[in-house]
Chains A and B, each alone.
Chain A
Amino acid sequence: MLQVQDLSVHYKTRRGFVRALEEFRLDAMPGETLGVVGETGCGKSTLGKAILGILPPGTHVEGKILFRGRDLTQLGNHMYRRLRGEEIGLIFQDPMTRLNPLMTIIDHFVEEIRDHESVSSAEARRRAKEALVSMGIHESRIKNYPHEFSGGMRQRIMIALAIVLKPSLLIADEPTTSLDVIVESQILGILQDLKRAYHMSLLLITHNLGIVAEACDRVAVLYAGKLVELGPVRNIFHKPLHPYTQGLLASIIHLETKELHSIEGGPPDLIAPPSGCRFHPRCPYAQPICVETIPPLVEFEPGHFAACHFGNKFL
């Protein structure tokens, strides 16, 4: 469905290139929910932007992003516009970055549908109404403006807009981070239902491991622009291989937490990332080889990969 091959994304800044993603590999299967987790600056949002072709101009991109056989990095602007919305849907953290404050809700849908398909305005309105009502937006409100809705409703409107053309891949970048916990739970439920109903793949980009445990089939863990671990959600949570994944899981504060854990140090500067394994300065098990050699991504169990020289030795 989606294959990211050796993708490197370097942002140009005055201080030099920020190596936001480095030789990154990932594939998403049809109908699965793939969680992409990591902390601030790990490159998870860059990944979403790279797939959608919305990186800032001047960004240095290498590698391939294959979507249904086509390499997206080679796609022209015109083709990309058709692809976005029609085949790949997008949900942002803040709905107001997608919704135009001067347009009524229904007009967003009519515009989106008629941009991609040659249907009558009446037909577009009918489909828009259907999409909104299915998301719990009352018909009496579809001519309202975005600011007249609550945060959770705006998020539902944005989801409705992202799926109105029935894309096969939905990228959700921190879709619930700005929402309250109860609404967050409601939105996650909606995403799950939709995924099942339309057999969509969902790329769920988040920093919240609790959400990942509840919603994802597989998980990719990013650290400082590198994929450090990838595997089925049960493996990641019960048998994490990479010391970073282990540290991250231990640091979750949940209702059963008896003792607090954290990872020493802070994330590295990606203009001059650490040599070898990028996690070595913070890793409790680091050895000389970790400073010298970049660890390859190795399949330790079927479908469970980790980029650590010592693989499953620290279980």
Chain B
Amino acid sequence: MTSLGDTARPELSDEILRLDNVIVHFPVKMSPIQRLLQREELVVHAVDGVSFSVRGGEILGLVGESGCGKTTVGRASVRLIKPTSGRIFFAGQDISKFGGGKLRTLRRRMQIIFQDPHASLNPAMTIGRAIGHPLWIHGLAFGLQKLGSDAFGRWVQQRVLSTMREVGLTPEEQLYEKFPGDLSGGQKQRAVIARALILEPNLLVVDEGVSMLDMSIRAKVLELMLDLKHRHGLTYLFITHDLAAAKFICDRIAIMYLGRIVEIGSARDIYADPKHPYTKALLQVIPIPDPDKRKEKLLPRGEVPDAVHPPAGCRFHPRCPAVLATCGWEGRDFVDFLDEHLSDPKRAGEDESTLGPIEHWRAEGLVARLETNSLSVEKAVERVKTVLATAPVAMTRAVESVSSLNRTVTVRFRPPDLLLQTSIKNRLVECLLYQ
């Protein structure tokens, strides 16, 4: 490839990207009436204090379920989103507050690829024009157009064709004039990669870049990405929910859960011996394509909770199979447990009349309260204690007191231990088990 000139590729092992305690909160859309009724401004805690760095020529995988914030981290990294707080460094430069022209210059060096190649390509633009488009956009900025538009046009076309060959979009002369609708899914994703590559970026953020492709062609696109890494020293932030693909392609991985990185480090070590209970759960559910290796799975309960009110302490604690009493138990955990208890006709018995209905319970921070006029509070306290005895041991142990005052029953939990990242076996883990 002919080089675009001025920007030398950073050396391998130079730090290309660094995020320093990045927080991204999105405001929750509310009507004016909701706004009046709501005491505090509600925000989605999409990313809540994420730090990591990516070295040149490295592939860092960002893995997690939907809503864990991986896409938001990716978008913030290429500054499609401005972080609420925290700093983002690209090649040593703090880009977290860049705007307008500075961002445009920056984007030459960092590109992003999205999940759906079809949605990423303008259906009315030929493949050749689409791939060359960034050169026109950025050509203005770095003054190559003084060549004259004809000469520039020919130069662009040559570069487009050579990039198409590079990503295996062949026969390139024929495909140049095609429209996205004429291409298969795999070809479209190659075109999107070519378009990102034509500016010779240093960093490529790939957001679920192969998830939509059929299995029989997914491998080809992954191979292409690895190949480009080796040939050009490209650095990737590889965002995916597919742990198997991540294992194959990534040097290091970061496991995200509800806006936090729970485990980050060498991919080889994490796959061989996952430490965080959430990482263990994720690895366990990957289907094994061998009917002789079917096994019972110990799955975390329920689903990822709402990021508007993330759980206290470790955000995984309500679902964690290895949870401790100090992990962050709070009032609503008790209310959730009670709801489940009362819903089960086999267990509820007369609790419904002593403790219910569940709607009368209020949770606030470490406390769950029942205000009642009709029920006997003394009896309710006794029942709460009995019900708690059937709760998960960690939750029962976390209860500081069950008390009554006037017509209110109060269940109070102990405050959680402070959660810190611990360094263990080539990785950082955020879990009390290892602190």
Which B262-286 residues have C-beta < 8 A from chain A?
271, 281-283, 285-286
Also in contact, A255 and B65, with CB within 8 A (given A40-B214, A140-B359): no
> What's the minimum C-beta distance from A262 to chain B, rounded to whole angstroms?
4
- The answer on a CB contact under 8 Å between B303 and A181 is no
Known: A133-B345, A183-B303, A213-B289. A255 touches B247 (CB 8 A): yes
Query: Knowing A152-B303, A213-B288, A213-B291 touch, does A138 contact B343 (C-beta < 8 A)?
Result: yes
- Which single member of A139, A153, A238, A266 contacts B303 (CB below 8 Å)? A153
**Which of A71-79, A84-92, A113-121, A184-192 lies at the interface?**
A184-192
B219–A210 touching, CB < 8 Å = no
Q: With an 8 A cutoff between CB atoms, is B308 at the interface?
A: no
A140 and B285 in contact (CB under 8 A), knowing A213-B290, A251-B218, A253-B245?
A: no
**In the complex, what residue of chain B is closest to A209 when comparing beta carbons?**
B289
Q: Is A260 a contact partner of B217 (Cβ separation < 8 A)?
A: no
Closest Cβ of chain A to B327, distance in Å, is 19
Whole-angstrom distance from the CB of B119 to the nearest CB of chain A?
Answer: 16
CB-defined interface of B169-213 with A at 8 Å, one 1/0 digit per residue? 000000000000000111100000000000000000000000000
When the two chains form the complex, which single residue of A140, A234, A261 contacts B292, counting CB atoms closer than 8 Å?
A234
Answer yes or no: B106 CB below 8 A from chain A CBs: no
Interface check B299, CB cutoff 8 A: yes
A26 cross-chain contacts in B, Cβ below 8 A: none
Is there an interface contact between A39 and B215, defined as CB atoms closer than 8 Å? yes
The 8 Å CB contact of A39, one of B216, B223, B242, B292, is B216
Is the CB of B344 closer than 8 A to any CB of chain A?
A: yes
B285 touches A260 (CB 8 A): no
| B99 interface residue (CB < 8 Å to A) | no
Interface residues of B in 213-245 (CB under 8 A from A): 214-220, 222-223, 241-245
**Assembly CA distance A49 to B349 (angstroms):** 45
Cβ of B294 < 8 Å from any Cβ of A? Answer: yes
Q: How far is the CA of A217 from the CA of B357 in the complex (A)?
A: 45
**Measured between alpha carbons, how far is A270 from B65 in the docked complex, in Å?**
35
The answer to whether A249 has its CB under 8 Å from any CB of chain B is yes
A153–B287 Cα distance when bound, in Å, is 21
| A152 cross-chain contacts in B, Cβ below 8 A | 303
Given A233-B291, A261-B219, A266-B184, also A255-B286 (CB < 8 A): yes
**Residue tally, chain B, CB below 8 Å to A:** 50
Residue pair A237, B214 in contact (C-beta under 8 Å) = no
- Is A53 engaged at the interface, CB distance under 8 Å to the other chain? no
CB contact between A180 and one of B241, B292, B359 (< 8 Å): that residue: B241
The 8 A CB mask of B127-154 against A (1 = contact, 0 = none) is: 0000000000000000000000000000
- Note all chain A residues with C-beta closer than 8 A to B285: 181-182, 184-185
CB distance from B304 to the nearest CB of A (A): 7
Q: How far in angstroms is the closest Cβ of chain A from B366? A: 23
Contact A260 B248, CB 8 Å, known A182-B300, A254-B288: yes
Verify if B29 is at the interface (C-beta below 8 Å from A): no
CA distance A238 to B294 in the complex (A): 14
Q: Is the CB of B304 within 8 A of A210?
A: no
Chain A residues numbered 153-207 whose CB sits less than 8 Å from any CB in chain B:
153, 180-186, 189, 207
| Assembled-state Cα–Cα distance A63/B232 (Å) | 55
Interface residue? A13 (CB, 8 A):
no
Contact A253/B242 with A152-B303, A182-B299 known, Cβ cut-off 8 Å: yes
CB of B299 within 8 A of CB of A185, answer yes
Chain A 247-270 near chain B by CB (<8 Å), digits 1 or 0: 111011111010011110011000
Could you list 26 examples of A-B contacts with CB < 8 Å?
Answer: A133-B345, A138-B339, A140-B359, A150-B303, A152-B303, A181-B65, A182-B285, A189-B297, A210-B289, A213-B291, A213-B294, A214-B294, A234-B291, A234-B292, A247-B216, A251-B219, A252-B289, A253-B218, A253-B222, A253-B242, A254-B244, A254-B287, A260-B219, A260-B223, A261-B219, A262-B220
Known: A213-B294, A267-B214. 10 other contacts (CB 8 A): A133-B343, A133-B344, A138-B340, A181-B286, A189-B299, A210-B287, A248-B215, A255-B244, A257-B244, A263-B217
